[in-house]
């Protein structure tokens, strides 16, 4: 079975200027891997309508799912919802069900549902809402594009609402072997092993620990038995040292 | 003056699978901003030659500089150097000056310069080397593409070698105002301010701290006086609360 594929689009000047470290991609990547959806591409673009539209059109056409992060708050730089609607030529406006959520929220919290906040109820026609248990203002899915908040706590909560509704494939499983051998020594036998086990992909990540060079070898596969066999073979070739 | 623009290409299955959090982009973004180069686009692609070539060709053509991170070690999954060479149709092979660096390094460290390690001396024709003071194996610049290591400590060291050699423009400066007002209250006056100061870009980042909603407003500009005037005006409108 071939897994569904996904792309991630991070929207925000604050990432590109170096003010903020994006952590949503890392969280999404782990969740998708466990769910059997293969994340194949990530892009970061500025708060620019043209850049967002171009990226949405390109990525949504090529993948089963596109996730976006950022740009859906109440301020003038929050242009994601309108840009995603424009990418599909879909009309957008304040929608009753989204407004009702905000009305109830501000009635409870004592805040005022002013015009700026009402922008958060702008939902493209035909989209379905994504629940936001943290701060109420919903995300939405328009076709295969899932529009989530940029604040990490809200992004995580929205993804937890959304992910169970998406069909997954076979989870990619991984095994890591921590070897106290330098990468250059392992490289040749590892390449040979990779050729013997085409169902397993191997990554090699060098580290330097307390004066010693070592390498983490990560095997990734959708076939547990193959992965087990490959990693066992690798471990036999490089027995753990007593360093 | 218009600043040079840049893109970043992160290469690695380990980022897309969720094993590793990319931190090189965040570091690069901060350094470029301070140097007066505008980072406008980031992409993450897997360890796949076709994906790397396509991204390199697209990004290198559209920006003054393209920085890459990852895939230049000794193992079979390290395909970045060959892919970058292929993107420009440039021949690649083990180059004498790069080999000499490795020979000296392994003579000193007592390691063996085997065939796998010698891969790290594969440099495209016409490229210039980027010094690696951490682990010797060099990066390189081919035309406007700067190929750096993925290990964060090495990425940082290589960037520190490279950046002073690149012409910068006017640094983007920023000021942050921490307001104990929720984003929805600030949104309208902020939009008005943004219209009054087209030279300043404003970002609005909500937070929740100890039971209170607040917002960090970040102004960014290449014109210090304009930025100062705009932020002073904003502060007068939203005096700090004594919360």
Q: Are residues B197 and B149 in the same domain?
A: no
Express each pLDDT in B69-92 by its tens digit.
999 999 988 999 999 999 999 999
Express each pLDDT in A62-101 by its tens digit.
999 999 999 999 998 899 999 999 999 999 999 999 999 9
ipTM of the complex: 0.90
Choose one of A136, A165, A194: the last residue of a domain. Answer: A165
User: B81: part of which helix (H) or strand (E)?
Assistant: helix B80-87
Q: Are residues B14 and B105 in the same domain?
A: yes
Q: Are residues A121 and A200 in the same domain?
A: no
Best interface-test mutation with B: which of A152, A187, A220 has the largest number of B CBs within 10 A? A187
Q: Are residues A199 and A116 in the same domain?
A: no
Choose one of A165, A197, A213: the last residue of a domain. Answer: A165
Q: Are residues B42 and B128 in the same domain?
A: yes
Distance between CA atoms of residues A20 and A33, nearest Å: 25
pLDDT for A60? 98
Between B212 and B112, residue with greater pLDDT? B112
Q: HSE on the CB side for B221, CA within 13 Å?
A: 19
pLDDT for A83? 98
Q: Are residues B130 and B182 in the same domain?
A: no
Q: Are residues B185 and B123 in the same domain?
A: no
Residue A139 forms part of a structural domain: yes
Residue A107 forms part of a structural domain: yes
pLDDT for B201? 92
Q: Are residues B126 and B189 in the same domain?
A: no
Give me the domain span that covers residue B58. Answer: 5-165
Distance between CA atoms of residues B222 and B38, nearest Å: 11
Tokens of B117: 């390690």
pLDDT for A162? 96
Nearest to B43 among A28, A39, A43 (CB): A43
* Contact check, Cβ <8 Å, A32/B18: yes
Residue A243 forms part of a structural domain: no
Q: Are residues B181 and B62 in the same domain?
A: no
Residue B242 forms part of a structural domain: no
Of the candidates A77, A43, A6, which has an alpha carbon nearest to the alpha carbon of residue B25?
A43
Nearest chain B CA: its distance from A17 CA (Å): 5
Name the residue in chain B with its Cα closest to that of A218: B14
pLDDT confidence tier of residue B242, bands split at 50, 70 and 90: very low
Q: Which residues of chain A have pLDDT under 50?
A: 242-243
Express each pLDDT in B119-145 by its tens digit.
999 999 999 999 999 989 999 999 999
CATH no. for residue A187? 3.30.70.600
Nearest to A114 among B33, B77, B184 (CB): B184
Express each pLDDT in B148-197 by its tens digit.
999 999 999 999 999 999 998 888 899 999 999 888 999 999 999 999 99
Choose one of B124, B143, B165: the last residue of a domain. Answer: B165
pLDDT confidence tier of residue B243, bands split at 50, 70 and 90: very low
> Which chain B residues are closer than 8 Å to A201 by Cβ?
13, 77
Best interface-test mutation with A: which of B9, B12, B19 has the largest number of A CBs within 10 A? B19
pLDDT for B85? 98
How many distinct structural domains can be found in chain A?
Answer: 2
With 0-12 CB in 10 A as exposed, 13-18 as middle and 19+ as buried, what is A152?
middle
Q: Are residues B106 and B209 in the same domain?
A: no
Name the residue in chain A with its Cα closest to that of B115: A188
pLDDT for A210? 77
Name the residue in chain B with its Cα closest to that of A77: B203
CA distances from B169 to B25, B68, B163 (A): 20, 21, 12
Residues B13-24: what's their mean pLDDT?
Answer: 96
* Contact check, Cβ <8 Å, B204/A42: no
User: B61: part of which helix (H) or strand (E)?
Assistant: helix B49-62
Residue B198 forms part of a structural domain: yes
* Contact check, Cβ <8 Å, B21/A19: no
Q: Are residues B85 and B192 in the same domain?
A: no
> Which chain A residues are closer than 8 Å to B112 by Cβ?
184-185
Q: Which residues pair with A145 in a beta bridge?
A: A66, A142
* Contact check, Cβ <8 Å, A75/B190: yes
> Which chain B residues are closer than 8 Å to A13 by Cβ?
201, 203, 220
pLDDT confidence tier of residue B212, bands split at 50, 70 and 90: confident
Q: Are residues A216 and A133 in the same domain?
A: no
Q: Are residues B12 and A26 in contact, defined by beta-carbon separation less than 8 angstroms? A: no
Nearest to B188 among A78, A116, A218 (CB): A116
CATH no. for residue B145? 3.40.980.10
Nearest chain A CA: its distance from B130 CA (Å): 20
> Which chain B residues are closer than 8 Å to A41 by Cβ?
16, 43-45, 51
Q: HSE on the CB side for B29, CA within 13 Å?
A: 24
Nearest chain B CA: its distance from A183 CA (Å): 7
Residue A192 forms part of a structural domain: yes
* Contact check, Cβ <8 Å, A40/B16: yes
Residue B243 forms part of a structural domain: no
Residue B120 forms part of a structural domain: yes
pLDDT confidence tier of residue B44, bands split at 50, 70 and 90: very high
Residues B100-129: what's their mean pLDDT?
Answer: 93
Q: Please determine, for residue B240, whether its predicted confidence score (pLDDT) is greater than 70.
A: no
Nearest to A41 among B45, B112, B218 (CB): B45
Helix (H/G/I), strand (E/B), else coil: A10: strand
Distance between CA atoms of residues B107 and A137, nearest Å: 62
The percent of residues above 90 in pLDDT, for chain B, comes to: 83
């Amino acid at each position: 079975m071939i897994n569904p594929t996904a792309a991630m689009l991070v929207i925000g000047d604050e990432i590109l200027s170096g003010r903020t470290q994006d952590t949503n991609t890392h969280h999404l990547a782990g969740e998708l891997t466990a769910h059997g959806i293969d994340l194949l591409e990530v892009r970061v673009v500025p708060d620019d309508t043209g850049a967002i539209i171009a990226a949405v059109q390109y990525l949504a056409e090529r993948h089963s799912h596109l996730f976006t992060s950022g740009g859906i708050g109440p301020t003038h730089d929050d242009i994601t919802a309108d840009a995603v609607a424009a990418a599909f030529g879909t009309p957008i406006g304040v929608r009753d069900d989204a407004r009702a959520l905000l009305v109830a929220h501000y009635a409870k919290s004592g805040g005022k549902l002013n015009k700026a906040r009402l922008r958060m109820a702008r939902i493209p026609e035909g989209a379905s809402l994504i629940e936001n248990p943290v701060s109420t203002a919903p995300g939405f899915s328009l076709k295969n594009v899932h529009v989530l908040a940029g604040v990490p706590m809200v992004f995580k909560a929205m993804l937890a609402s959304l992910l169970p509704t998406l069909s997954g494939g076979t989870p990619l499983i991984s095994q890591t072997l921590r070897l106290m051998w330098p990468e250059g020594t392992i490289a040749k036998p590892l390449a040979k092993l990779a050729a013997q086990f085409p169902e397993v992909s191997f990554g090699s990540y060098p580290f330097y620990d307390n004066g010693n060079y070592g390498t983490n070898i990560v095997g990734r596969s959708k076939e547990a038995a193959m992965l087990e066999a490959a990693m066992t073979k690798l471990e036999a070739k490089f027995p753990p040292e007593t360093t």
